[in-house]
């Protein structure tokens, strides 16, 4: 066979050009353990991640509007940039996280039809997966972002289900990989679906084109049609795609992803932002007892809440759903609640009032409503039932935060999963997006116990959900039950686990705006518990992760000024733990302990409250009852 010399030469040139265009780049973390390998081929970009001898991610594709083509790059320190004339992809290898984000270089912005983000693992590892459930109005992407964790091998992921993040994958040698996104402010949040045998890939809510009032109690705006694209007018940096890798689960407790990967603060002066505790009405169904008036959503009830708040040195009360209509924040207000008398009454007592609103109601007249209520002395709004994270809602959340900041109003976002907006607007002091205490009101019994294992969830969320931002779990139940005794009750709710388990949440759960969910008259009957809780701050100067394992237990110490606060919790398994005092300053310190009582396994309200002197370098041995907890305040 005789080959045409010109054809041979052309084929050789194509082969050489293909080989020259296929480039690999390697980025290592400062400690050298975590390594990202980037494969920039002619028409495909992939990355893989190793940690020590552990293969974390097999080659996983990265893309936007189809394949990336003809990319070249450079490595500098623990970062790399790979790009072409249209896009750049910034990679970063921290000691505990591999991350990348795509930069759109077109200054006019582009429409994003689809983004490819794969996370392909190398084995059939067990995972903690929070699946989307309870869709609003039956719409696939309309959801409260509250989910228990399904614990299952990657191969058993449900093929047709969306998962939210963060979610965790247990790697060999006890390591954990956690997938998260961060910085989704003008871009939809990242859902995850099964990809191949051991992997998953991102999917995003398409842009909504039409909506209707619907969902739970008609409080939502539910999309009835969505566009073929997921985002429009996109320019600059897209959100970070993050794979954390830890050798010890407790590393997740202090990872602070929003501060590391979130947007820049947009508020020049944050001195007016006042965190604190909140006496909350909804969970306890405004069920005051022993009072000379009919308790409910009325002026006398809220005056009682204000008095209780002032007496116990708390900062706020919330007036939840029912003070306004579902369609307006200004007209046809509840005549039983006299805001014009409650606001000055609260101001005199040093108590702030925060009002509830649905997101749908809030966006009707945000500028005027926020300005009006700020002028009356309202301190903030709890904005509920976002229940979406498509680009339209993310833009709306930013606008609400910006308007609230201009009027010095705090915000608590519900039905919303944080991805760093709280760094841009620290007046957003809390988020829900968590299966909190409210679920105890309707939790069914199955067989010999409750359907869901709440204590196991309680010792999972500090590692996962809390990784991306504070959580409005709303702790503080004074009626506490063992697994055998628990049942759901809307008007007289109780918690799974012990009293000390509930108290420990005030230290363990990040919540600059932290609720006291039970009734003021119950707290007054349990004044010793109330006095302990009221001493615990809601923001801290230092956090030390002491010990724990995802889904099993957790121990964290936090410092405010010179005082240390320590919390410990377990699932339904009783444990004996030794807690070191290595974080203390030299010398002796007075410690106050709140612990499970000796009979807490039979009566979950049983607790002890003791004092003793402790020293740096010492320790204390504690026993956690099933569903138990322990707290310390050390001065």
Report the alpha-carbon distance of residue 91 to residue 77 in Å, rounded.
Answer: 11
Q: Which residues contact 256 (CB under 8 A, 6 or more apart)?
A: none
Question: Does the annotation count 438 as an active-site position?
Answer: yes
Q: What is the 3-state secondary structure (H, E, C) of 333-400?
A: CCCCCCHHHHHHHHHHCCCEEEEEEEHHHHCCCHHHHHHHHHHHCCCEEEEECCCCCCHHHHHHHHHH
Report the alpha-carbon distance of residue 498 to residue 483 in Å, rounded.
Answer: 10
Residues 632, 634, 635, CA angle at the centre, nearest 5°? 155
Question: Does the annotation count 384 as an active-site position?
Answer: yes
β 220-226/149-153 pair status: unpaired
Across 325-345, b (16+ Cβ under 10 Å) vs e yields eeeebeeeeeeebbbeebbeb
The torsion angles phi and psi of 570, rounded to 5 degrees, stand at -130, 165
Q: Which of 389, 438, 510, 553 is catalytic?
A: 438
Q: Does a cis peptide bond (omega within 30 degrees of 0) precede residue 281?
A: no
Q: How far is CA 149 from the centre of its chain?
A: 14
Per-residue CA distances from 228 to 187, 204, 225, 234, 600 (Å): 15, 11, 10, 15, 56
DSSP string, 502-547: HHHHHHHS--SEEEE-S-HHHHHHTHHHHHHHHTS-SS-SEEEEEE
Q: Which residues contact 225 (CB under 8 A, 6 or more apart)?
A: 208, 209, 210
Per-residue CA distances from 616 to 535, 560, 580, 589 (Å): 22, 17, 8, 8
| Start-to-end CA span in the chain (Å) | 91
Number of helices (H) and strands (E), helices first, in the chain?
A: 12, 40
β 316-319/352-358 pair status: parallel
Q: Which of 94, 139, 320, 384 is catalytic?
A: 384
> Active-site positions?
384, 438
């Amino acid at each position: 066979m005789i080959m045409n010399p010109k054809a041979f030469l052309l084929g050789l040139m194509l082969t050489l050009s293909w080989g020259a265009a296929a480039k690999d780049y390697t980025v290592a973390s400062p400690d050298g353990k975590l390594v990202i390998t980037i494969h920039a081929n002619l028409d495909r970009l992939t990355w893989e991640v190793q940690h020590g001898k552990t293969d974390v991610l097999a080659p996983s594709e990265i893309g936007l509007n189809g394949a990336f083509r003809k990319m070249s790059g450079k490595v500098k320190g623990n970062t790399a940039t790979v790009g072409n004339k249209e896009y750049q992809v910034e990679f970063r290898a921290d000691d505990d996280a591999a991350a990348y984000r795509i930069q759109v270089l077109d200054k006019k912005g582009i429409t994003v039809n689809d983004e490819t983000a794969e996370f392909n693992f190398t084995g059939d590892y067990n995972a903690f997966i929070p699946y989307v459930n309870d869709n609003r109005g039956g719409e696939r992407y309309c959801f409260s972002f509250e989910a228990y964790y399904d614990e299952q091998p990657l191969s058993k992921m449900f093929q047709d289900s969306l998962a939210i993040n963060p979610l965790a994958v247990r790697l060999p040698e006890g390591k954990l990989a956690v997938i998260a996104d961060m910085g989704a402010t003008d871009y939809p949040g990242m859902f995850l679906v099964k990809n191949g045998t051991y992997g998953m890939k991102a999917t995003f809510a398409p842009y909504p084109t039409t909506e209707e009032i619907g969902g739970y109690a008609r409080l939502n705006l539910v999309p009835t049609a969505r566009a073929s694209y997921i985002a429009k007018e996109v320019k600059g940096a897209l959100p970070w795609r993050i794979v954390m890798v830890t050798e010890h689960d407790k590393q997740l407790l202090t990872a602070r992803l929003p501060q590391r990967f979130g947007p820049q603060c947009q508020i020049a002066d944050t001195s007016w932002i006042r965190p604190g505790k909140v006496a909350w009405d909804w969970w306890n169904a405004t069920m005051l007892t022993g009072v000379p008036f009919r308790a409910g959503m009325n002026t006398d009830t809220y005056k009682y809440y204000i008095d209780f708040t002032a007496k116990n040195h708390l900062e706020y009360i919330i007036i939840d759903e029912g003070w306004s209509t579902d369609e307006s924040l200004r007209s046809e207000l509840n005549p039983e609640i006299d805001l014009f008398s409650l606001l000055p009454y609260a101001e005199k007592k040093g108590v702030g009032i925060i009002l509830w609103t649905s997101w749908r109601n809030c966006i009707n007249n945000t500028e005027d409503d926020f300005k009006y209520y700020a002028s009356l002395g309202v301190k903030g709004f709890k904005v509920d039932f976002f229940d979406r994270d498509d680009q339209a809602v993310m833009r709306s959340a930013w606008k609400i935060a910006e308007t609230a900041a201009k009027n010095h109003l705090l915000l608590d976002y519900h039905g919303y999963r944080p991805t760093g907006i709280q760094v841009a607007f620290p007046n957003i002091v809390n988020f829900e997006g968590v299966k909190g205490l409210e679920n105890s009101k309707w939790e069914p019994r199955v067989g010999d116990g409750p359907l869901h294992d709440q204590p196991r969830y309680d010792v999972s969320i500090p590692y996962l959900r809390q990784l991306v931002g504070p959580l409005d779990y709303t702790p503080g139940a004074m009626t506490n039950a063992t697994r055998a005794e628990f049942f759901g009750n809307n008007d007289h709710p109780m918690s799974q686990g012990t009293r000390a388990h509930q108290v420990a949440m005030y230290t363990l759960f990040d919540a600059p705006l932290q609720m006291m969910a039970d009734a003021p008259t119950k707290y007054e009957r349990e004044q010793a518990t109330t006095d302990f809780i009221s001493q615990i701050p809601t923001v801290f100067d230092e956090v030390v992760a002491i010990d724990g394992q995802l889904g099993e237990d957790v121990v964290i110490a936090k410092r405010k000024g010179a005082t240390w606060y320590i919390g410990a919790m377990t699932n339904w398994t009783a444990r004996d733990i030794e807690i070191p005092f290595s974080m203390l300053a030299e010398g002796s310190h007075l410690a106050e302990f709140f612990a499970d009582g000796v009979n807490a396994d039979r009566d979950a309200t049983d607790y002890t409250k003791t004092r003793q002197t402790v020293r740096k370098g010492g320790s204390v041995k504690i026993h956690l009852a099933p569903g138990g907890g322990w707290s310390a305040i050390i001065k």
